[in-house]
Structure 1
Amino acid sequence: MGAILFIRRERSARYPLLDLKLVARPLVSSGLAYKAAAGLATAGLGYLVTLQLQLDWGWTPAHAAIGMLPQVIVLVAAGPFVSKFVERVGFDRAAWLSAAAVVFGLAVYAVLGSFGYLWIAIALVLVAAGIRVNGVVAGTNVLRGLPENRTSIGAALVDTASEVATGVGIAASGTILATLFTGRIATSNWSMHQTAQFREAVTIAGLALTAAAAALVGWGIVRVRSAADGQPTMSVDDVAMST
């Protein structure tokens, strides 16, 4: 309801805070969709994995933090290769490939994460690789689709899409867990029934986030294909300067 009222207000205001016509541009909406998919998956995966390692598997907070290292290592190590990858495949293809990697990683966790840490590590690596590229190309697509004098608001839109999606990912996962789990989730010595409830909730939450992220990626692909030819080209260095 809040979103509907906001849109109505922006469309009727003489000087709107956000020109919705800019968001409706194909490259802009596709870039925001890719960025939202990455934010949704990253937040949801981090939240669910942390709870699973500590509450279900009994890892200490320190061990759980170490368990997240595959994601951190990929985010740091992939930096020098992002520009080369984008230049090789192009911005549009890199955008949907990176977003698809994020969705696939989330799907791996949702389906196989309960079978052992190896699958969780694979999911973390896939999502990290996807968001490392997505962070550059999604923002680039937004800036490519805007007039040259509106790039600042484009950068703000990219950040906002990521932040809103992050909040939605955590809220959706937490709501599913709260709905399906009986009792206090943070207590030790779960019953077998509670353990089964938690694992079912994690699977459902993971699948729900996967479906939502996949829908955003699909929308992004459709929108970028409808973009007019002749969009101005930008390099990765241009993006860094613009933001």
Structure 2
Amino acid sequence: MRRWGTLTAVCLGTFMLLLDVTIVVVALPDMAGSLHASLGDLQWVVDGYALALAALLLSAGAAADILGRRRVHVAGVVLFAVASLLCGVSTGPAVLVAARAVQGVGAAAMFATTLPLLGSVYQGRQRSAALGVWGAVSGGAAAVGPVLGGLLTEGPGWRWIFFVNLPVSVVEVWLTLRVVPESQGLLAAGGAPGERGGVWGRVDWAGMAAFAGFGGGVTYAVVRAGEDGWTAPGALAAFGCAALALVLFVVVERRAAYPLLDLALLRRPAFAGVLLGAFAFNGVAFGMTPYLSIWMQTLLGMSPVRGGLTLLPMTVAAMIVAVLVGRLLHGVPARLTIGGGLLLIGTGNLCQAVLDAGASWTALAPGFVLVGVGTGFVSPTVAGAALAAVPAERAGMAGGAVNTVRQLGYALGVAVFGTVVTSRMTGTLPGGAAHALAGGAAGALRGRVPEHTLRAAFASGLNGALLTAGLAAMAAGALVLLLVRPGRPATDQTQEPRSPLPARR
């Protein structure tokens, strides 16, 4: 039990926090009806969690280096559980979005400590095996989320997709305290109290704030652009603020003694290529699922369970391929697994862009399988590729960066694809109807808009977004193949993975 107890505890927490990224997608129509939520509200229910997770991952990792990684992990689980309870008892969309953001903060503390905890316990081939299992669990969680969400939504109700986290969190805390050894942080070990600012001076607070401002600003800008138009003053102002936050982040990171991200690493083509692939991956693989779920439930009349089960082809393919990749393709260069996986995901999205007014969910099945296969290639290998692309003393930073851009990519993918869906529907539906339809309010429109028109409009919107996702995935895959070239560190997958722990200073 103790030999693989750490892996069990870490994978349980990882599965739970990543599950909550996608578990809400099939519950969105029920949430909209229960809480009188708009499309923008629904987008923020998804993105509030992903953005908080992305914005705080690197900072949580730095805090864990100071306070102790097991301690921060357990604190994150407790905060995640409290926020899950608040989500479950929410009485309006604003409360739910705020609670989802707090949930993301707890998830960041959990996620940032997963690789360091594994790296402190396992070495050599055991570490390779542990990272393979962790990668497979990460990919499987995102795929299983809609299926489990459908079962809970149709059964006890959508609030139980959050309540179910409470007993799992109790088990996670107990198991972590029982079997996971503490990886001592600087504060616990005495640190270097004479340094300017003390040990807390090693946390890049300004960089954290600037990055959060950039991620939140650009996502808000895309959502506003979908509602008001790309040239609307509110959207342009939000884009301007996001750009300013990005500039500030670059300035802060170049001057910080202990930056969240050493920008010099981006001059390594292999590392830049891996980050680009990770950023695109979560968005193009999963960013369309909220809108496909709304389409299947509101226009095809599916129950939440059936809507979730339609994603089984993707779920099964992703989990099977992820396990096989971890066991059989350890020596394959990262450029092929990541770049090739993105090309498969792009092909899968393009295969789904064939919907019309009479289409059923079966038209999506071949594309779902291809997306699942591509997910199975990318998910278990992208973290190890990031670690191998940088010097050993920067491995912890690289691991945090790749997980950060994955969640940011998902948040932006949901926002961008939602904007494309509604913009394609606007020309054929009366004012405001496009957002109402995309938000799951088809019932309110059926009395004044013919059913065939609603189906044709939504299919057109989905096709446009799927085409966008497919082309983005293909472009990202091609860039990964170009940047992560043979002979560079990221492709040397035959070596034992470097430790994800940063060197002690």
TM-score bracket for this pair, using the shorter chain length: 0.7 to 0.9
1:129 maps onto 2:366 in alignment: no
> Structure 1 stretch 212-221 or stretch 166-175: which is displaced more?
212-221
Q: 1:66 to 1:211 in 2, by over 3 A?
A: same
Is 2:467 the partner of 1:223? no
From 282, 285, 305, the equivalent of 1:62 is 305
Q: Does 1:44 align with 2:287?
A: yes
Q: Does residue 74 of the first structure (1) align with residue 334 of the second (2)? A: no
Distance 1:23 1:178, change over 3 A: same
- Answer yes or no: is the 8 Å Cα contact 2:350–2:467 preserved in 1: yes
CA contact (8 A) 2:334 2:493 kept: no
**1:210–1:138 CA distance, 2 compared to 1 (3 A):** same
Partner of residue 209, structure 1: 469
The aligned runs of 1:141-160 (5 Å cut-off) are: 141-160=385-404
Residue 238 of structure 1 pairs with residue 497 of structure 2? yes
Return the alpha-carbon distance in structure 1 between the equivalents of residues 343 and 311 of structure 2. Answer: 21
**In 1, Cα distance between the equivalents of 2:497 and 2:398?**
14
Give the distance between the partners of 2:271 and 2:376, measured in 1 at CA.
19
Does 2:427 match 1:168? Answer: no
Q: TM-score, normalised by structure 1?
A: 0.86
- Offset, 1:166: 0.4
Relative distance call for 1:84 and 1:16 in structure 2 (3 A) is closer
Separation (CA, whole Å) in 2 of partners of 1:9 and 1:128: 39
Alpha-carbon RMSD: 2.6
Change (3 A) 1:155 1:15: closer
Equivalent of residue 16 in structure 1, options 248, 252, 259:
259
Answer yes or no: is the 8 Å Cα contact 1:74–1:128 preserved in 2.
yes
* Partner Cα separation in structure 2 for residue 157 and residue 102 of structure 1: 22
Unaligned runs of 5+ in 2: 1-242
CA distance in 2 between counterparts of 1:214 and 1:27 reads 18
Range that drifts further, 137-146 or 161-170: 137-146
Higher Rg of the two aligned structures: 2
- Alignment match, 1:178: 422
* Contact 1:37 1:214 (8 Å CA) reproduced: no
Higher relative contact order (CA 8 A, sep 6+): 1
Extract unaligned runs of 5+ from structure 1: none
For structure 1, which segment, 213-222 or 60-69, has the greater mean C-alpha deviation from structure 2 after superposition?
213-222
Work out whether residues 385 and 491 of structure 2, in 8 Å CA contact, stay in contact via their aligned partners in 1: no
Inter-partner Cα distance in structure 2 for 1:162 and 1:119: 28
Question: Once the two structures are aligned, what percentage of the paired residues are identical?
Answer: 20
Task: Report the Cα offset of residue 232 of structure 1.
Answer: 7.8
User: Judging changes above 3 Å, is the alpha-carbon distance between structure 1 residues 62 and 32 closer, same or farther for their aligned structure 2 residues?
Assistant: same
- Evaluate the alpha carbon distance shift between residue 232 and residue 30 of structure 1 in structure 2; reply closer, same or farther with a 3 A threshold: closer
Higher helix share: 1
Residues 1:121 and 1:90: Cα distance change in structure 2 (over 3 Å): same
2:497 maps to a residue whose letter is D
Whole-Å separation in 2 of the counterparts to 1:116 and 1:3: 42
Q: Aligned partners of 2:280 and 2:477: how far apart in 1? A: 6
Q: What is the alpha-carbon distance in structure 2 between the residues aligned to residue 143 and residue 56 of structure 1? A: 45
Separation in 2, partners of 1:60, 1:93:
39
Kindly indicate whether the alpha-carbon contact (under 8 Å) linking 1:71 and 1:127 is maintained by their aligned counterparts in 2: yes
SS, match of residue 238 in structure 1? coil
TM-superposition CA deviations, 1:53-80 (whole Å, max 9, x none) = 1123221212101111112222333343
Q: Where has structure 1 moved over 6 Å in runs of 4 or more?
A: none
CA contact (8 A) 2:417 2:465 kept: yes
